């Protein structure tokens, strides 16, 4: 079962589209020995429809001014330790700057998180949110190596994934534990079978080196960058490796770079519990009655009873699949990524109490990268592959069982779910790189680091830890007192003014700026 806190806000648009419908009724190759990859020319053309690994669907709609989104493939070394060996193709997308040519700063590269999210599909989905930044930048994103159209990691097929996600990811006894461990081993073995060549080369350090090559190929002296969620970790690693190449950069929804995988999962259990508490308080504070509980405590108690009941007997979900305890937990977690989805969570809970699990199932599908046609993107496979290549610790079932009381104390609802997810790398065929990423970046230009006090997936404290780890004079912290994963897309004027002031005009906001 994927760790929901390691996933991203990239699925939110797909979630909204799927729920609205329900409630209404580039490749690899071999490098020439004399080829200079930094001098390669990109052949931009209108974007095709996303591949299944990118999530499927239609080609991106034209921009508001009628311009088309453009796509290209950039060659990069498969193995950065052997830069003259085989290459892979990295899928890129851009919207050219629409302002005056003499005002253009360069390219602004986005990574929306995951790891495992497709930037090629996410940037056009959220493109209008970044329209002001397009006045001075080409907006650029990409599918990182192992993701989407960039030599995607492949594990289980769609039918196998349907079965995989129906499993009980919070085992209660020895038989369930054995089945869960066996399923994890089978998933990992399938990844090795189908993607053995790429698995050793999907570390965040590899993606950071790809971004520096991208900077050169795009013709920029500095990398101007907007990283969200896991994208902040990628940005921090880039700054560590290439501090003198950092241009204007923003980190939003910040990963704590000082934590091990276990510490991160425990912190995220607390974060999702906080978000659930806030959802419950918000529901009962409405003028009208909250349809899923009389008090905040009652809301959470009813959810706990629902999950316990689903553990014993699932209810109909999206035919022919059933809503299990695990699927319901994932669906609730997905809805907590954005306050805009709290109304869907309320509706989903109402329906589930009446024996209809469709809304919570659609939310769970969005978390897992499944579209309404039953096709899965490769976000789960890529998420596991990148995390396991990055994270050195490996945990066994006995260790998880010892930690369960601590996780349950952090979150009665999400504790078991997140604790057992630590087993995802136990039998992974590639060794993890380190206990946590190195983001120390002395000499880098200022990086605006934004923490959201109500963020469920990347708890607020991570922003301060990132600032400290980047080093003196680099990280500039801004606090947003809000809800949901990230701050810029909340449309908060204070946050957006600070981001625009820095990215567009080079004005660094005062440290410890508070937006509410």
485: annotated active-site residue: yes
Distance CA 17, CA 11 (A): 10
Task: Answer yes or no: are the C-beta atoms of 474 and 446 closer than 8 Å.
Answer: yes
DSSP letter at 216 equals H
Element (H, E) at 34: none
Token pair for 356: 């209809």
3-state secondary structure 316-361: ECCCCCEECHHHHHHHHHHHCCCHHHHHHHHHHHHHHHCCCCHHHH
Of 201, 240, 245, 485, catalytic: 485
Distance CA 198, CA 447 (A): 31
Of 151, 252, 455, 489, catalytic: 455
Helix axes 261-284, 296-312, angle to 10 degrees: 120
Query: How many helices (H) and strands (E) in the chain?
Result: 16, 13
Which residues, in sequence order, are CB contacts of 508 under 8 Å at separation 6+? 446, 448, 476, 502
Task: Answer yes or no: are the C-beta atoms of 369 and 11 closer than 8 Å.
Answer: yes
490: annotated active-site residue: no
229: annotated active-site residue: yes
Of 471, 470, 475, the closest CA to residue 450 belongs to: 475
CA atoms within 13 A on the CB side of 106: 20
Helix axes 461-470, 230-241, angle to 10 degrees: 10
Q: The dihedral of CA 367, 228, 108, 83: what is its sign?
A: negative
Q: Which residue has the tokens 């949110």?
A: 129
Of 229, 265, 421, 424, catalytic: 229
Q: So which residues are the catalytic ones?
A: 229, 455, 485
């Amino acid at each position: 079962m994927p760790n929901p806190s390691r996933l991203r806000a990239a699925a939110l648009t797909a979630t909204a589209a799927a729920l609205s419908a329900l409630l209404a009724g580039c490749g690899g190759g071999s490098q020439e020995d004399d080829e200079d990859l930094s001098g390669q020319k990109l052949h931009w053309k209108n974007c095709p429809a996303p591949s299944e690994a990118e999530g499927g669907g239609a080609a991106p709609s034209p921009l508001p001014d009628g311009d088309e989104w453009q796509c290209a493939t950039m060659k990069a070394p498969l193995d950065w330790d052997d830069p003259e060996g085989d290459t892979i193709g990295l899928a890129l997308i851009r919207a050219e700057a629409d302002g005056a040519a003499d005002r253009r700063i360069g390219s602004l590269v986005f990574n929306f998180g995951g790891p495992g999210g497709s930037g090629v599909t996410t940037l056009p989905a959220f493109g209008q949110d970044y329209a002001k930044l397009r006045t001075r930048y080409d907006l650029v994103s990409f599918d990182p190596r192992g993701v989407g159209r960039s030599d995607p990691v492949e594990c289980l097929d769609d039918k196998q994934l349907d079965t995989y996600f129906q499993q009980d990811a919070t085992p209660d006894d020895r038989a369930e534990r054995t089945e869960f461990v066996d399923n994890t081993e089978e998933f990992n073995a399938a990844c090795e079978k189908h993607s053995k060549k790429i698995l050793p080369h999907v570390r965040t350090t590899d993606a950071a080196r790809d971004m520096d090559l991208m900077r050169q190929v795009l013709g920029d002296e500095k990398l101007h960058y907007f990283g969200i969620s896991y994208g902040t970790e990628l940005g921090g690693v880039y700054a560590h490796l290439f501090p003198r190449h950092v241009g204007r950069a923003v980190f939003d929804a910040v990963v704590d770079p000082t934590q091990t995988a276990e510490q991160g999962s425990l912190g995220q259990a607390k974060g999702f519990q906080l978000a659930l508490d806030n959802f419950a308080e918000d529901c009962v504070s409405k003028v009208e009655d909250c349809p899923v509980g009389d008090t905040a405590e009652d809301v959470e108690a009813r959810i706990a009873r629902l999950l316990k009941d689903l553990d014993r007997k699932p209810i109909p979900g999206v035919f022919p699949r059933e809503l299990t305890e695990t699927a319901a937990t994932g669906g609730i977690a997905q809805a907590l990524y954005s306050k805009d989805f709290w109304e869907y969570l309320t509706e989903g809970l109402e329906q589930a109490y009446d024996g209809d699990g469709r809304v919570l199932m659609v939310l769970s599908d969005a978390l897992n990268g499944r579209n309404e046609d039953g096709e899965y993107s490769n976000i789960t496979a890529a998420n596991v592959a990148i995390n396991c290549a990055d994270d050195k610790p490996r945990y066994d079932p006995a260790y998880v069982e010892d930690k369960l009381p601590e996780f349950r104390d952090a979150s009665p609802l999400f504790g078991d779910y997140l604790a057992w997810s630590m087993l995802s790398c136990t039998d992974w065929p590639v060794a993890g790189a380190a206990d946590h990423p190195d983001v120390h970046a002395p000499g880098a230009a200022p990086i605006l680091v934004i923490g959201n006090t109500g963020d469920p997936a990347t708890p607020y404290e991570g922003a301060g830890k990132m600032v400290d780890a980047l080093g003196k004079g680099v990280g500039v912290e801004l606090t947003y007192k809000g809800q949901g994963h990230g701050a810029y897309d909340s449309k908060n004027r204070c946050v957006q003014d600070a981001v625009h002031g820095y990215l567009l005009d080079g004005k660094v906001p005062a440290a410890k700026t508070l937006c509410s």
